[in-house]
Amino acid sequence: MTATSLVDFQRRMSEDVRRPLTADEEMQTTLADGRTMSAEAERYVKANSRLSALERLELYNRQYWFRIIGAFQEDFPALQAVVGRKKFEALTIAYLDAHPSRSFTLRNLGSQLETWLGANPAMAGRRPALAIDTARVEWAYVEAFDGEDQAVLTAEDIAGLNESSRLALQPHVQLLELEYPVDDLVIAVHKGRVRAEAASQAMQGVAREPRHAIPQVPKRTTYLALHRFELSVYYKRLSAAEYAVLQALREGETLGAALALAFTAGAVEESEQAGLVGEWFHNWAELGWLCLPQNSASGKMDEKVKR
């Protein structure tokens, strides 16, 4: 087999293996141009004494979809609990058809889910805003779990901060402004769920995850941070002012500008602001959230930052 024919073979098989399954979880029998899938399979798959070319190709097609469906469902069990099992099955297929896996890792499957749900609210069930918030928190969990760790600020660095300083947050720290306080719901589902043995079994009813009773979640603006500490992901609710400071720092604002933005609304008395900022920095430093700006090439804070 020549290099050209090998590339052609790989491309052709990749396209066929990734074709969506039928409603009965079988390989499609007809292509968009009218050709039969059986004839297509016979072009490059050899039949054996037990299986036809189509049947051999179908094994890969089904296993591909069962694997990615299973991986997706493992990442978003709380979303499944919110929208319901049947609705979630349809959502999964539609989303993965629109955003097929294009990475060497299944970790990135849900990276476009928030945007896709926003554009397809009918797929999100009766409470689309609640579903989208749930999906955002579950994706933030993925990001926090394996986000990068950078060198934390030292006590010397923190002592040298002033209103002109620029700080950075650890990449694994995820900041969310939510319409609903769904963090408790997500935690409850993640702790109580049982993994399905395989996506195909879960979809056919052979081994389902237990039904979760979804409590009434009142609409209330909630600010949330997800972060990793000692190889575990934690959830921390934030005040509006604390969230505003952290978000501004992440966007590159100076410390002075970030604090001014947080206290503009006057929600915190001026006499309390210094103590509150001290408490924030104590907590952030203890959790290791603060780090050097990425444009600081050395291990020390850039002199321009500290001036």
**CATH number (domain holding residue 157):** 3.90.930
Residue 248: HSE in the Cβ half-sphere, 13 Å Cα cutoff: 19
Q: Give the domain extent around 170.
A: 150-182+217-307
Q: Which residue has the higher pLDDT, 220 or 273?
A: 220
Q: Is residue 272 part of a domain?
A: yes
Q: What is the tens place of the pLDDT at every residue in 26-62?
A: 999 999 899 999 999 999 999 999 999 999 999 999 9
Q: Is residue 275 part of a domain?
A: yes
Q: Which residue has the higher pLDDT, 7 or 139?
A: 139
Residue 260: count other Cβ atoms within 10 Å of its Cβ: 15
Q: What's the pLDDT band for 3 if we cut at 50, 70, 90? A: low
d(CA 210, CA 189): 10
Q: Residue 201: is its pLDDT beyond 80?
A: no
Q: Is residue 81 part of a domain?
A: no
Listed residue (230, 16, 158) closest to 8, CA to CA: 16
Average pLDDT of 205-214?
46
Q: Is residue 241 part of a domain?
A: yes
Q: Is residue 77 part of a domain?
A: no
pLDDT at position 263 is: 84
Write down the pTM of the prediction: 0.82
**8-state DSSP, 157:** H
- Number of structural domains, the chain? 1
Which residues lie across from 270 on neighbouring strands? none
Which three-class secondary structure state does DSSP give residue 38?
helix
Average pLDDT of 128-154?
94
**8-state DSSP, 171:** T
Q: Is residue 280 part of a domain?
A: yes
Residue 183: count other Cβ atoms within 10 Å of its Cβ: 22
Q: Is residue 224 part of a domain?
A: yes
Q: Is residue 14 part of a domain?
A: no
pLDDT at position 51 is: 96
Average pLDDT of 65-83?
94
Q: Which two tokens stand for residue 112?
A: 């476009």
Q: Residue 158: is its pLDDT beyond 70?
A: yes
